Structure 1
């Protein structure tokens, strides 16, 4: 417990210097092609940005793929994931939480499906797709978040997840304070993807909606996400999801973007009060999905209480902000709330249609 309090204090210290900022007031999302009505198959690929530079950035990409079999005929698959997907924010090292086998069921007719197996390097589905930059926490890796990110990909998003050089599970020179440098890595990744979309011959070329990015992340990745929303940030970044995180210095400035905060009410690593303070400081439309009595990330594991609500709410939020899906916006409150499991607070969300 003493270590957890120290870690919480260190993470809260990252917030120092954050303050309100004046931002643009136009939060409208231009119309886009309709959000997909059914789930896609999911592909996965990997590449490295600046492999010979001072901060090489391995990237995992999950994307909507051309189906080789109908979605409803997906074969159940067993994926081994951790009960706390980010490893640990504790200074003592990775979490000792037991791993569990999660058996994916058949995909449903809805946009998120109920389980997805990503296939390496299969063809990208036809069309352009909005992009979500997903940031892992301390002592973690992108693959540990696959139960969430693959489902977002099945719902029609390209999800790109960098492995941060000094905070990942296998970092040789692990440095907690390097979280401050990760928002710049996130923007470096966005610029790379804009160039990649125009690169002849790349499998993703012509498939990225490079004017429609969201940022999302858990714990230190949530702080990283907030840190991408600083004064002068590009309007390409249209939305953010901060899970079990808070704000960095300079967060929540620049062009207004809708934000969704997700936090366990009994989080011993990043107290819920940190997330609620960030929610209160953010500008423009925002929502706070609370999980009373829950800790730092167990609700990100399929089958655990709250996972279905977190998945549905985050998917609705991304469909609304990146596809201009007003029906997803309107159903978000009902999808997010399960009495006794989750609560939802909203501020300045547009009137429901």
Structure 2
């Protein structure tokens, strides 16, 4: 089924069952954003202590983790991680992990996608010193049954997978034992994976998460009742997105009550910049790397580099409220 048709079905289905979640009415006991943007000085500060991210690049290893939530939700997870060896090559299967403790990013693929579709972006994150774990969802991945409503179950899938990934840090004999900074975790996702990611900070808030990156996402079905400790957010959206309208992503971004930024690509569509190596992907990958270096390593210099990375080549603009 063509991507546009699938995405239209997702939007229609989520609208039918989830309109209450994005109606703007606050949920009982949930914190919501004020109608107007608060002064920057009052924006909550992220909880990651000051630190320094690795200055060089790593080789990248890749492995698979076979998981199953509740016995009927198979969740194979692809894990990319900093590895020993020379940087710059392809990801090497089961390569020895590099020395150090590395933050974790949980990545959620889009509808009819798979983690490998995003390998160019995600291996760049790992080369920068991040462990990236990407579940393949049982119903919305390519080859699944296409049940678009199952997107609403995916935040819980990610939380389950995160628990299992973090447990590797203490698992005897595991190649990632002692290599995970288990207290520094972010979530990211594209399209339906962006919905999943927003859900992890709203209706399915996972308090272990320190930051989020939302690519071409919308709050449809999961709402904008952002809750819990301050978790900086970076939204990335093409202004020519033909599937998830830019205004929809912007509306979700506007409701985030924490430090935030939005990288807008005036000529960007729904996701080609994430899937095809080129100038736009380099701007997106470098900007997101600096955001994750700041939010997960506490690297203030990385935060300072964000505007320059976003402006490179004149391909994007940055609304910076960090």
Scaled by the length of structure 1, the TM-score of the pair is 0.79
- Residue 262 of structure 1 contacts residue 288 of structure 1 at CA under 8 Å; is this kept in 2? yes
The equivalent residue for 1:22 is 31
1:62 aligns with 2:80: yes
Q: 1:119 to 1:235 in 2, by over 3 A?
A: same
Three-state SS of the structure 2 residue aligned to 1:263 is strand
Aligned length: 302
Q: 1:134 to 1:5 in 2, by over 3 A?
A: closer
100, 109, 117: which one pairs with 1:144? Answer: 117
The equivalent residue for 1:167 is 140
The equivalent residue for 1:41 is 59
Give 5+ residue unaligned stretches, structure 2: 34-42
Q: What is the rounded CA distance, in whole Å, between the counterparts of 1:47 and 1:158 in structure 2?
A: 13
1:220 aligns with 2:220: no
- Residue 263 of structure 2 contacts residue 318 of structure 2 at CA under 8 Å; is this kept in 1? yes
Deviations 1:26-61 (A, max 9, x none): 533333652111000000000111288110110000
- Residue 12 of structure 1 contacts residue 274 of structure 1 at CA under 8 Å; is this kept in 2? no
280, 288, 294: which one pairs with 2:262? Answer: 288
Shift in Å, 1:194: 2.7
1:130 aligns with 2:148: no
Q: What is the rounded CA distance, in whole Å, between the counterparts of 2:81 and 2:128 in structure 1?
A: 9
Three-state SS of the structure 1 residue aligned to 2:76 is strand
Q: 1:1-353 alignment to 2 at 5 Å?
A: 3=5, 6-7=8-9, 9-10=11-12, 13=15, 14=18, 16-18=20-22, 19=24, 21-22=30-31, 26-31=44-49, 34-50=52-68, 53-67=71-85, 70-71=86-87, 107=88, 116-171=89-144, 173-230=145-202, 233-247=205-219, 248-251=221-224, 252-338=226-312, 340-347=314-321, 349=322
Shift in Å, 1:189: 1.0
Q: What is the rounded CA distance, in whole Å, between the counterparts of 1:324 and 1:153 in structure 2?
A: 17
Q: What is the rounded CA distance, in whole Å, between the counterparts of 2:266 and 2:257 in structure 1?
A: 25
Shift in Å, 1:278: 0.5
Q: What is the rounded CA distance, in whole Å, between the counterparts of 2:285 and 2:19 in structure 1?
A: 27
- Residue 21 of structure 2 contacts residue 222 of structure 2 at CA under 8 Å; is this kept in 1? yes
The equivalent residue for 1:77 is none
Q: What is the rounded CA distance, in whole Å, between the counterparts of 1:271 and 1:290 in structure 2?
A: 12
Q: 1:274 to 1:256 in 2, by over 3 A?
A: same
- Residue 261 of structure 1 contacts residue 287 of structure 1 at CA under 8 Å; is this kept in 2? yes
RMSD: 2.4
Shift in Å, 1:233: 3.4
- Residue 232 of structure 1 contacts residue 254 of structure 1 at CA under 8 Å; is this kept in 2? no
Which range moves more in the overlay, 24-33 or 252-261?
Answer: 24-33
Scaled by the length of structure 2, the TM-score of the pair is 0.87
